A and B are shown apart, each in its own frame.
Chain A
């Protein structure tokens, strides 16, 4: 295949550049007129980059881009009218007006993610490429980011993973020589970004990002490599920014002479002239294109102007696949009654139940795959949760990863966006901190930001080593509250083997991102578990012990303390009802309220730090909804306000225990 632009292609590239420039100008016109009011990142100077790559991509090739996005999204084929409508927050916009200028999505044209988080698209792009590689589709993914983004950790993780797995992705670093108010030279000692490619073991190339012929030629090589299974390329396109960082931003930090020179060499005008000079096109033909583009922009504006703002019902739509899963008072999660087969007395441990669920999910659906650190045999995971599975299903479907949590979660997100159901292991929940952006800003929000056009059906397994002694402050936390504060995440915390299996399978089936919290304290505790595949629905609390005097609500390993306390209380004649919440989101508040309505007393017990913990949220909701039937204030018992200490005596004092639960319950009975 020739890497030179044909005459026809070159004129097509010009048309795309003209459409980009006109869209960018129309948005800036709206901003200058005060009709639009938001922070806008113009793309002037960078038009040639995606315009010259576009002829090499099909509609079903995928792209992941950033907030400075208009050039990328127009080139990928999204109708301009949907872009303008999104700028005005209209229901006809790419994301129904719910994404805005930094979050356009158009999966029909392969535009999968536009992120406002610098560098965060790279792991997701790698994940989409992983999905396409596993499908054997021959499709390629392009991922745009800036020169500033090249210094972000997530980009490093993604480049390494993409090279390691030879993923079909082209990383397009659009080096516009500035990152906000900081120049390229002030950000790195690297002379070029492409030069880093060698260190990752991938191809790298640096081109003049204002020259369509050069960009097209380099992109032809990169895309051919990707389609041929020869792995990723880091393609750096250098194109001086023609304006400040955002609309209205000052330009004082930019070299005035270079800026003036770059403006004088405006790539769109220059390419237009070049087409004429080289005999590729007549002035009249280009003028006709310009006129068509002007008309298209006017039509797009009229389309946006005549479109409606989103309906009020859109506020809650697209947080989850189902509005009923939003944890608001009075909304009961809708679910099918659990039909759990008989266990016939078969007992296995919690950890084995997890392994069995993964095994059954892998067997039932070839779209399920596992990824994470050390999950392959012979290790089979640090607590053997995945033991035997890579041997049984192969290393494509049970894949060990480098120690790159952002890349692991990003890879899961990306693959899930193209039809897979990844189950990623983040080993210990404390490590979620290093990939929180992927979880909270991306997995949780992509459905909403895309107006429901994309979804992220992933399961993230995380383990806490709390209260088993010796793991200390960074391996023992219970962080459900961090996740609960981010709309869009489901949070599941089983306390026993049967729930662990049935809820893990429910998470894998679920259309939304699920955080599956495993507890080391429970791992080696046996329980009755049916052998067949079954589901325990999310959002359905269980009454672990019925009672009449006081309701104790707990989940995960703290359930062990709650149940032990209930036994002690029973000896004292206090009949506690113990509710295992099982999932934090969706939240089965109705079951809690029904119980508290009966007992008049509520005590919430969890392993997480009490201060600011989920118990506070639940207590407030109980108080609001059940005030009339309460005989005592709602009480909480969580961990003390300290990092988890190492010394066993101190760790025991830090975490709630049965004695503490008993003491609190007694006090409530006297109130």
Chain B
């Protein structure tokens, strides 16, 4: 079983930063691949982001902070 790190994704051409405005999961939840796990807000829009992996999720960042793309935001034990 591997530990996968999720980083803040680049959701649009112009995106440099984003803010997680809501976690849709609790620490320790088991998530399915494709399940919406958080809501990200960028300059333009807010979007639900789906989990790329299935497994036990641990969010690493709080909501509300402006984060550069590539910032580690969660870990998933698959």
List residues of chain A with CB under 8 Å of any chain B CB.
28-35, 37-39, 246-250
Contacts and interface: CB of A to CB of B under 8 A. Distances in A.
Contact of A248 (B4, B6, B12, B73): B12
Contacts of B11: 247-248
Contact of A37 (B9, B44, B50, B52): B9
Contact of B10 (A28, A29, A248): A248
Given A248-B47, A250-B45, A33 B5 contact: yes
22 contacts: A29-B52, A31-B9, A32-B50, A32-B51, A32-B52, A33-B6, A33-B7, A33-B9, A33-B53, A34-B6, A34-B7, A34-B69, A34-B70, A34-B71, A35-B7, A37-B9, A37-B10, A39-B10, A39-B13, A246-B12, A247-B11, A248-B12
A622 B45 CA distance: 51
Interface in B2-46: 4-13, 15, 44-45
Contacts of B13: 39, 246
A246 B10 CA distance: 11
Given A39-B10, A39-B13, A250-B45, 10 more contacts: A28-B52, A30-B52, A31-B9, A32-B50, A33-B9, A35-B7, A37-B10, A248-B11, A248-B12, A250-B44
A37 B10 CA distance: 5
A32 B53 CA distance: 10
Nearest to B74: A33
Contacts of B69: 34, 37
Interface residues of B, number: 23
Nearest to B6: A33
A253 to B, nearest CB: 12
B49 A31 contact: no
Contacts of A37: 9-10, 69-70
Contacts of A29: 52-53
A617 to B, nearest CB: 31
B75 to A, nearest CB: 11
B76 to A, nearest CB: 9
Nearest to A35: B7
A609 to B, nearest CB: 34
B48 to A, nearest CB: 11
Per DSSP, chain A at the interface is: loop
B66 to A, nearest CB: 16
Contacts of A31: 9-10
Contacts of A28: 52
Contact of A38 (B10, B47, B70): B10
A247 B51 CA distance: 14
B53 A248 contact: no
Interface-centre pick from A30, A37, A247, A248 (highest chain B CB count, 10 A) = A248
Nearest to B11: A248
Given A29-B53, A248-B47, A34 B12 contact: no
Given A33-B4, A34-B69, A37-B70, A248 B9 contact: yes
| 3 A-B pairs with the lowest CB-CB distances in the bound complex, closest first | A34-B7, A248-B11, A29-B52
A33 B38 CA distance: 12
A41 to B, nearest CB: 11
Contacts of B70: 34, 37
Contacts of A35: 7
Interface-centre pick from B4, B7, B10, B49 (highest chain A CB count, 10 A) = B10
Nearest to B51: A32
A30 B50 CA distance: 12
A441 to B, nearest CB: 18
A539 B21 CA distance: 59
Contacts of A247: 11
Nearest to B5: A33
Given A37-B69, A37-B70, A32 B49 contact: yes
Contacts of B51: 32
Nearest to A39: B13
Nearest to B15: A248
Contact of A249 (B7, B12, B52, B71): B12
Contacts of B73: 34
A232 B13 CA distance: 36
Given A29-B52, A29-B53, A34 B9 contact: yes
Contacts of B47: 248, 250
Contacts of A33: 4-7, 9, 52-53
B57 to A, nearest CB: 12
A266 to B, nearest CB: 13
A38 to B, nearest CB: 7
Nearest to A247: B11
Contacts of B6: 32-34
Contacts of A34: 6-10, 69-71, 73
A503 to B, nearest CB: 42
Contacts of B53: 29, 33
Contacts of A250: 44-45, 47
A459 B9 CA distance: 44
Interface-centre pick from A30, A31, A32, A250 (highest chain B CB count, 10 A) = A32
Contacts of A38: 10
Nearest to A26: B52
A39 B13 CA distance: 6
A35 B8 CA distance: 9
A269 to B, nearest CB: 14
A591 to B, nearest CB: 45
Contacts of A246: 12-13
Contacts of B12: 39, 246, 248-249
A246 B47 CA distance: 14
Contacts of B15: 248
Nearest to A30: B52
Contacts of B9: 31-34, 37, 248
Contacts of B7: 33-35
A294 B44 CA distance: 35
B67 to A, nearest CB: 10
A250 B5 CA distance: 25
A38 B11 CA distance: 9
A532 B13 CA distance: 56
